[in-house]
Chain A
Amino acid sequence: MNNQNVIEAQKLTKKFGDFTAVNAISFKVKKGEIFGFLGANGAGKTTAMKMLIGISKPTSGEAKVVDYDVYTQPELIKNNIGYMSQKFALYDDLTVRENITFFGGIYGLKRSEIKQKAEALINELGLHEVAADLVGSLPLGWKQKIAFSVALLHEPKIIFLDEPTGGVDPITRRQFWEMIYKTAHEGTTVFVTTHYMDEAEYCDRVSIMVNGKIKALDSPTELKKQFQVASMNDVFLKLARG
């Protein structure tokens, strides 16, 4: 694997019975970039991502994530990645601090380390007042930000975000993307799926999936040039309509 690439997929395929959810996709993700993984609902984004994070075995093809093989070393991959699902995945019935402690704990951090990181996280997000509140009582936007920070606790090399801004207001989305930028700037690769096309503009490179296949892959600027349109929204519409 090229040192510059943290994800390499070759003809990665996933079939459910007769249905091919992901059809032989090949792509590379460079270290430190924000890689947008776009597609309509049901295009196969989440399925592809699940193969990369080691919770779904590919039907065929190859993929390496942080130098580890998705077939044989999924647990090593898990050590080196963070994941935030589209289905919000902190525990509603635990407080902010307890969630941090728990996830820090199962990633094998020491208690003292967790405490220190929890403080830093609470400071950064300005959560002093709600740190002892149950996560369930917080607004969705806050939850998403906390979930994102929790996914970064163990300092992963890549963070996978599955539609992280679904259902949150524009201001929070903006703040969320600032967090993403900061993370990428610090050297963590960000792999993000979304169907908000304005968000696609923020990515370094985007791939667009249609019916299980990657139909386009380049920087937003290049893609707009290639399709001779003004926005990513139009690129997407052109592709999705065939």
Chain B
Amino acid sequence: MKTILFIIQKEFKQIFRNKGMLPIIFVLPLLQLVILSNAATFEVKNIKFSYIDNDNTSFSRALIDKFEASTYFKVLDKFESQKTAKQAMLKGDVDVVLEIPNHFEKDLITNKKTNLLVAINAIDGAAAGVENVYINQIVQQFNKNVIVDLKKSMVITPSTNTELLKTIDSIPLFWYNKTLNYKTFMVPGILVLLVTMISLFLSGMNIVREKEIGTLEQINVTPIKKYQFIVGKLFPFWVIGFGLLTIGLILGKLIFNVPMVGSIALIYFYTAIYLLVLLGMGFFISNFTDTQQQAMFIAWFFVVIFILMSGLFTPIESMPEWAQFLTEFNPIRYFVEVMRMVMLKGASFTDILPQFVKTTVYALVMNSLAVWSYRKTS
């Protein structure tokens, strides 16, 4: 125990003495939190919208006015023909083209029914889907009797003609995030990212660094026990992980006003175990690498996969089945789930028990591997 304290003391001194490292540890992640939380959003805004008006009546103009009034659409000059519209879309000058047919007004009045043709640039399928919903909402507001014929251009998709709900009015009620504030959803997740990346990179590179400068050999000729060295080395980064989490939570509250419905203590308790997974992983990586560069590349490789498959940016439910299975081995996935569950839904310990158990097993495995692969004698 005494020996471990000597190592911890030394590590903290080195960390806080390193003028290049401190900003990397604390300032950069927080900048990321502020920037990413504001920028990474699925809200689709500033949609370049244009139209072909074959009707030219007060009805058709009223419909276009509806689009102009919407904050999501930026209405450009109208097109005279389908041909010019098509060219503009090819060039990417326009995202959505609405074609109002001849006799639009007449049909609405006499037949109580008419069709509209909408072409959407669907290269970004997710954005196109969102745009489609917006358009339908506006058109329905205008007149419930208009049927929108959707034509997604650029990619051929099976017909997704939206059947009009003529008689049923639905009133959505959003739970847990009533205003559908995207940041409320993103901030806990991005906080996970920061804590993860910094702890993994720091622990992974720290031990390799001692290899590079030759001090690890000096340590290996001392009678120090493996566990003493590993605990002493990793403990400071465990503390730094908590520091980051704390600052991140405070900023999330101050800047983004992210709610904390559940128990903060539960978040810290879970994080304590989660950090062990990362630190063990970092140590494991550094046992198999000789330079900080190698360690960084390997850590980066895993972090990218973990992040993209964590459900942070894309829902796990929409991944192919094999990928969903792989996410079972992704520690970030569990942390993201726990953060969102506890912060936004007020989940209790029993609610997060599955994630907790899996993370604990993961931590045990990673740290056993770390201890096993660290050799004082080669």
Question: Are A55 and B217 in touch, CB under 8 angstroms?
Answer: yes
Decide: A103 and B222 in contact? CB cutoff 8 A. Answer: yes
Say yes or no: A85-B377 contact (C-beta < 8 A), given A75-B223, A93-B18, A94-B10.
no
- Given A57-B377, A93-B18, also A106-B213 (CB < 8 A): no
Chain A residues in 8 Å Cβ range of B228: 106
Which of B1-9, B240-248, B309-317 has 4 or more CB atoms under 8 Å from chain A? B1-9
Using Cβ atoms and an 8 Å threshold, which residues of chain A touch B7? 102, 105-106
- Shortest CB-to-CB span from A178 to chain B, Å, is 24
On whether the beta carbons of A78 and B222 are closer than 8 Å, the reply is: yes
Q: Complex formed: what's the CA distance from A7 to B215 in Å? A: 25
Q: For chains A and B in complex, what number of residue pairs have CB atoms within 8 angstroms? A: 79
Contact with B along A73-97 (1 / 0, CB 8 A): 0111011010101011111111000
Judged by a CB distance under 8 angstroms, whether B348 is at the interface is: no
Q: Of A57, A87, A89, A107, which one neighbours B223 at CB under 8 angstroms? A: A107
B40 adjacent to chain A (CB < 8 Å):
no
Cβ contact within 8 Å between A83 and B218? yes
- Asked if A98 is at the interface of the complex by the 8 Å CB criterion, the answer is yes
Q: Within 8 Å of chain B (Cβ to Cβ): is A108?
A: yes
Residue B224 is within 8 A (CB to CB) of chain A in the complex: yes
8 Å CB interface, B1-33 against A: 2-3, 5-7, 9-10, 13-14, 17-18
**Which residue in A78, A85, A91, A101 is a CB contact (below 8 Å) of B14?**
A91
Does A56 sit within 8 A of B, measured CB to CB? yes
Selected contact of A106 from candidates B224, B376, B377, B378, CB within 8 Å: B224
**Known interface pairs A94-B13, A94-B14; A85-B2 also in contact (CB < 8 Å):** no
- Which residues of B, 219-242, contact A by the 8 Å Cβ criterion? 219-224, 228
Given A55-B217, A85-B218: A93 touches B378 (CB 8 Å cut-off): no
Cβ–Cβ < 8 Å partners of A85 in chain B:
214, 217-218
**How many chain B residues touch A (Cβ–Cβ < 8 Å)?**
26
**How far is A78 from B219 in the complex, measured between Cα atoms in Å?**
10
Give bound CA distance, A169 to B75, whole Å: 79
- Which residues on the A side are within 8 Å of B219 (C-beta)? 106
Beyond contacts A55-B221, A55-B377, A106-B228: 18 other A-B pairs, Cβ-Cβ < 8 A, are A55-B376, A56-B377, A57-B378, A74-B377, A79-B223, A81-B221, A83-B218, A91-B10, A92-B213, A93-B17, A94-B14, A102-B7, A102-B9, A105-B2, A105-B7, A106-B222, A107-B222, A107-B223
Question: Residues of A with Cβ closer than 8 Å to B?
Answer: 53-57, 74-76, 78-79, 81, 83, 85, 87-94, 98, 101-103, 105-108
